[in-house]
Structure 1
Amino acid sequence: MTSIVELLVSGGHATPGPPLGPALGPLGINIKAVVDEINKITSTYNGIQVPVKIIVDDKKKFTIEVGTPPTSALVLTELKLEKGSGNAGSETVGNINMEQLIKVAGAKHENMLSYTLKNRVKEVIGSCTTLGITVENMTTKDASKAVDEGKFDHILENK
């Protein structure tokens, strides 16, 4: 019988303590080996919460699948912010530029519904709204409209 454990871990900083240890303990596998493998795989997401799926077969062999962090976490990391605004709409905590948006959209590419870079960037802009982050010194609504109007096509088409 195969067992699957899904949880969020801090990229590159997983430990045998909660939530991993208690979830894996009953499966009878080498928790240290799992933790070491997770840390190796997630090291590029240093400190960001990353979704991880651990699949354990009946012979106690495990495989690890790593998802991408939430868009909001990638945006905050890109801007070197610890958290978004607690009062989005009236409090701004940062400003993101188009190059940074493209970078985040690229990281999330596999998990986004949009087929074009332009629409993936607009999805990321939507995440900025609730974080209290402006885009190219515009509100997210104005930035999304500017993308629709083609004001950033010169950047988007070269990616």
Structure 2
Amino acid sequence: MSKSVARLKSMKKVADKIDHSSKLRTNIPAGMAAAGPPLGPMLGQRNINIATFCKDFNERTANIKPGIPLPTRVKVNADRSYQLTIHQPPASYFLMQAAGVNRGAMNSGNEICGKITLKHLYEIAKIKQQDPPLEWRSLKEICTMLIATARTCGIQIVEKLDAKEYGEFLAERKQVVEEQKKMLQEKREAKMLRTA
């Protein structure tokens, strides 16, 4: 009986050492961490002091333009302290900024929402190479990843881009986006009427 008790105690020690906490993985706008939803409840579930976290995050992102989405990883320690890792903005954010568009294509693969040059792609790859998950990858691999992301967003990659032609393309695109927004609004209203 004493052997089994000793074995149970040793197993309990091993179980106590196992870290069951999950990492918090979310995007937080730079300089805009707030205690309200959705961030507050996520932090509260992990017993993190919300006010301290928000202050820490906002101080660390003070030099970045407010509102830029930053992928954030938080590992919670047993003593309620945490390790905060802030990555570069998502690749889709950089691609859309370079293309001069606010939203991606609704029908990716069939629709082009913007265009960027190979130089834009290379510059974005150099920025993304600073991210911890990508720092050991070659620029070629990161460029391949960015091409796939651009395709998903509906952004076309071209060798050269004429400013005047692209301005005309963006003006036409703006009308298409307005029509898509109107169509989505009509669908929403129709759905609300059906459920009422």
The answer, yes or no, to whether TM exceeds 0.5 is yes
Instruction: Pick one of 87, 95, 108 that aligns with 1:67.
Output: 87
Q: Give the match for residue 124 of structure 1.
A: 146
- Bigger share in helix: 2
Confirm or deny: 8 A CA contact 1:10 1:50 kept in the other structure: yes
Rounded Cα–Cα distance in structure 2 between residues aligned with 1:90 and 1:106: 29
Q: Which runs of 5+ in 2 are unaligned?
A: 1-15, 161-196
- Greater gyration radius: 2
Structure 1 stretch displaced more, 112-121 or 3-12: 112-121
Rounded Cα–Cα distance in structure 1 between residues aligned with 2:97 and 2:81: 34
Instruction: Pick one of 128, 149, 157 that aligns with 1:135.
Output: 157
Q: Is 2:105 aligned against 1:108?
A: no
Structure 1 stretch displaced more, 105-114 or 116-125: 105-114
Instruction: Pick one of 87, 90, 95 that aligns with 2:115.
Output: 95
What CA RMSD, in Å, does the superposition of the two structures yield over aligned residues?
2.9
Rounded Cα–Cα distance in structure 1 between residues aligned with 2:72 and 2:119: 28
Q: Which runs of 5+ in 1 are unaligned?
A: 139-159
Q: What's the offset of the Cα at 1:90?
A: 3.0
Q: Which has the higher contact order (CA 8 A, sep 6+)?
A: 1
Structure 1 stretch displaced more, 91-100 or 109-118: 109-118
Letter in 2 for 1:136: V
TM-score by length of 1: 0.68
Q: Is 2:33 aligned against 1:51?
A: no
Structure 1 stretch displaced more, 45-54 or 75-84: 45-54
Cα 1:116–1:132 change in 2 (3 A) is same
Rounded Cα–Cα distance in structure 2 between residues aligned with 1:42 and 1:131: 26
Give the percent of matched residue pairs that are identical in Structure 1 and Structure 2: 28
Q: What whole-Å deviation, never above 9, does each CA across 1:123-156 have from its counterpart, x for those lacking one?
A: 2122111211111268xxxxxxxxxxxxxxxxxx
Q: Give the match for residue 31 of structure 2.
A: 12
Rounded Cα–Cα distance in structure 1 between residues aligned with 2:140 and 2:24: 35
Cα 1:45–1:80 change in 2 (3 A) is farther
Rounded Cα–Cα distance in structure 2 between residues aligned with 1:41 and 1:78: 25
SS of 1:107's equivalent in the other structure is: helix
Letter in 1 for 2:111: E
Cα 1:99–1:50 change in 2 (3 A) is same
Confirm or deny: 8 A CA contact 1:42 1:50 kept in the other structure: no
Instruction: Pick one of 46, 50, 54 that aligns with 1:31.
Output: 50
